[in-house]
Amino acid sequence: MKGNTVLRFASLLFLAALIAPAHAELTIEITGAGEHQIPIAVVPFAGDEKLAQSISGVVAADLQRSGLFRLVNPGGKAPHQPNEVVYADWAGTDALAIGTVTAQPNGRVAVEFRLMDVVRQTELLGESLSARASQARAIAHRIADMIFQKMTGTRGVFSTRIAYVNKQGGTFRLVVADSDGYGEQTVLTSPETIMSPAWSPDGSHLAYVSFEKRRAVVFVQSLLTGQRLLLANFEGSNSAPAWAPDGRHLAVVLTRDGSSQIYLVRPDGTDLRRISFSGAIDTEPNFSPDGQFLLFTSDRGGTPQIYRMSADGSGPADRLTFDEGNSFSPCYSPDGKSFVFTRLLNGRFYIAVEDFATQQVQMLTDGGWEKRPTFAPNGKMVLFANEAQGRGILATVSSDGRVKQKMFPQAGDIREPTWGPFLNNNLN
Amino acid sequence: MKNVALSILMVSLLAACGSQPPKEQPAAQTTPAAEAPAAQPAEPAAPAKVAADPLDDPNSILARRSVFYPLDVSVVQSADRAVVDAHAQYLAAHPGTKVRLEGNCDERGSNEYNLALGQRRADGVKKLLIAGGANASQIESVSNGEEKPKVSCHAEKCWKENRRTDLIYNR
C-alpha cells in the first residue's frame, strides 16, 4: 500500500531545513479589553537590559495580549526583591511581578522572579528558572503562564505553539512558532500548496496536506526528527487530517470511492476504514475532546453546514448550524461544550461560536476574510486566519469576543493557522 | 491481453465513427481521417498528420479547455456540454492520449470544502467524458480547490473565472 511508504528526511530535497529559525519580527495590534481586567505591574527585572531579549518585557506583552490584565506602569519604581517593595506605592494594583536576571558564564540565563499580592502584602509565587540564553523567550512565556494561572485560575497558553503556512511568492513554508508568533521554525518548504496542518495530541507531529505530488495528499511529519510518512495517497484528493485525542487514529477525507468522505486511519497508514457514507461532500472532521464524536462540514442538506456524527460512524449525523449563510471548519472547544466555525454570510466570513446546550450562535468577529478558527488549549482564545492590508495575517479573538489581536508577519501571507496542544516541555 | 487489444481496437473504431466533426467547422474536417491510422501503434505517424491534430486548431471547439460553473455548483452547465462532448469524442478517437482534469473554485468557502468541491467538478467532467466514449484510464481528475486562482480579487469578476475545470492534455 502506497500509504505506508516512509520517506526519510535526508531523501527529500525540498525539505529545506528541519529547524530553520527565521528572524521575522511581527507587528501585533490589540483591540478591546476583558470585562474584568486584573491590574498588574511587571517591573523590569534587574539585569534584564543586558540581554538581547528582555524577559520581563515578553512577560508583560503576554499578559497584555490575553486581554485579561491591565498593565500598570511602574513609573520609575523598581523593586527587585520582596524587601524592596513598598506596598503603599502600588495602590490600585492587584499584583506585582518582580525579579532578577543573571547571564551566567556558561551561556545560560538564570531568572528569579516573584509575584507579590499587593492587597494581602504576601508572596504569591517565587520561582527560579534557568535555560540557554537562546531560550529567553521560553523562560518569559513560562513565567507569564505561572502568573496567568495564579491570577485567573486557568492554565496559560503562552508556552504553547502554533503552526501555520507562510506563502511568499510561489514558495510555501509550513511553520511552527510560539503562540505570540515569534520564534518561527520552518518545518517544510515546498513550491506547491501546503494546507490544513493538524497537531498530534502530544505536539510531536504535524499532519498536513501537500500538493507536491500534483494533487492533494496527506503527510504526517515528526517535529523531532523530520521523518515523514505519506499517510494517504489515493486517487483523487486526500485531505483534512484531524487527530483523535488519544493519538491512535486520524480522520482524513478521501475521494477514492467517489465524493469526499471521512475515513479513519492509524498514524502509520494502516487500518483504513470509511466512516461516512453520504454521497455528498463530507469534510473537515474534528474530534470531540473525549474522542466520541466528530464535527464536520457537509453539503448533504444543499449548502455547506456543520454536522456531528459518532466517531465510529454509527448512527445518524445531526445538523448543528441552520442560520442564514454557509458554515465551515468546525473546531471543538477544549471543554467540549461549544465549537467555533467559519460562517460565510453576505459575502463576508465571520468567526462564530455555537454552544451545544443552547444552540445559540455568537459571532466573535466583525467579519471580513476570516477563516479556519482553532481554540487555544485553555479555551480562552481562538486563533484564525485573517486578511488585512491585502495580506494574510494571524488573528486571535478571546472566546467571549471582547479582545482581538492582529499579528502581521514581516513577509508573506499567513494562512491555515492551528493552535497546538499544551506541552510538558522542559527548558534546556 | 487479447481482450484489452480488442477493446482498444473497438474504441478506436467507435471513435472513428463518433468523431465526425460538425460541418460548420471545416478546419477540423480533415482530422479524423488523418488520425485513425495514427491510433495504430505499429504505423509511424507522418509529421503532416501530427500537425493536423484538431487539438492544435485554434478554431476547433477543442481549443476550449475550460468549463465554468455558478457558485457552489459542480454540474457541467448546458453551455459547456458541447465542449465536454467534443473532448470526449477526441479522447475516444485517441486512446493513447491522456488528459488531466483540474477542478478549481473561487475563494468563498473553506480551503478544504473548496478542495472537495473542485474534485467534484473535475470528477463530473470525467464522468461525462467517459459517457462520451473516453476510457477512464485516459483521465486523471484532481482538485486545486481555491489554491490556484486564475485571477485574484474579492469580486465576482474574478470568482467566475476561478470556478472552472481545466482540461490539460498530456501529449
What value of ipTM does the predicted structure carry?
Answer: 0.90
Tell me if B112 and A416 make a contact (CB, 8 A cut-off): no
Q: What percent of chain A has pLDDT over 90?
A: 79
pLDDT at A422: 95
Q: Specify the long-range contacts of residues A259-264, CB closer than 8 Å, at least 24 apart.
A: A259/B116, A259/B119, A259/B120, A259/B123, A260/B115, A260/B116, A260/B119, A260/B120, A262/A294, A262/A296, A262/A313, A263/A232, A264/A311
Q: How confident is the model at residue B79 (pLDDT cuts 50, 70, 90)?
A: very high
Interhelix angle B78-93/B2-18, rounded to 10 degrees, is 130
Contact residues, chain A, for B127 at CB < 8 Å: none
Give me the residues of chain A with pLDDT under 70, please. 1-26, 425-428
Nearest of B87, B98, B83, B85 to residue B136 by alpha carbon: B98
Contact with chain B for residue A321, Cβ under 8 A: no
Beta carbons of A218 and A231 less than 8 angstroms apart: yes
Residue B26 has pLDDT above 50, yes or no: no
Residue B39 has pLDDT above 70, yes or no: no
Nearest of A152, A191, A139, A203 to residue A40 by alpha carbon: A152
Q: How confident is the model at residue B15 (pLDDT cuts 50, 70, 90)?
A: very low
pLDDT at A424: 75
Selected residues 323-382 of chain A with any CB under 8 Å from a CB in chain B:
326, 328-329, 342, 344, 347, 369, 371-372
DSSP helix/strand/coil, B76: coil
Which of A239, A303, A344 lies closest to B115 in CB terms? A239
What's the average model confidence in pLDDT over B65-90? 96
Contact with chain A for residue B158, Cβ under 8 A: no
Pairing, β A194-199 against β A205-210: antiparallel
Q: What is the mean pLDDT of chain B?
A: 79
Tell me if A216 and B115 make a contact (CB, 8 A cut-off): yes
Q: What percent of chain B has pLDDT over 70?
A: 70
pLDDT at A66: 86
Q: How confident is the model at residue B43 (pLDDT cuts 50, 70, 90)?
A: very low
Which of A196, A326, A369 lies closest to B112 in CB terms? A196
DSSP string covering A10-63 = GG-TT---SSEE-----EEEEE---SSPEEEEEPPPBTGGGSSS-HHHHHHHHH
Contact residues, chain B, for A304 at CB < 8 Å: 72, 109, 113
Contact with chain A for residue B119, Cβ under 8 A: yes
Q: How confident is the model at residue B51 (pLDDT cuts 50, 70, 90)?
A: low
Beta carbons of B118 and B145 less than 8 angstroms apart: yes
Pairwise pLDDT comparison (B17 vs A209), residue with the higher score: A209
Contact with chain A for residue B142, Cβ under 8 A: yes
pLDDT at B170: 87
Report residue A20 as a C-alpha cell: 530553520
pLDDT at B38: 39
Contact with chain B for residue A239, Cβ under 8 A: yes
Residues 6+ apart with CB under 8 A from A344: A325, A326, A327, A328, A350, B108, B109
Beta carbons of B125 and B165 less than 8 angstroms apart: yes
Q: How far is A298 from chain B (nearest CA, A)?
A: 8
pLDDT at A3: 36
pLDDT at A51: 84
Residue B25 has pLDDT above 50, yes or no: no
Q: Is the dihedral of CA B102, B143, B91, B45 positive or negative?
A: positive
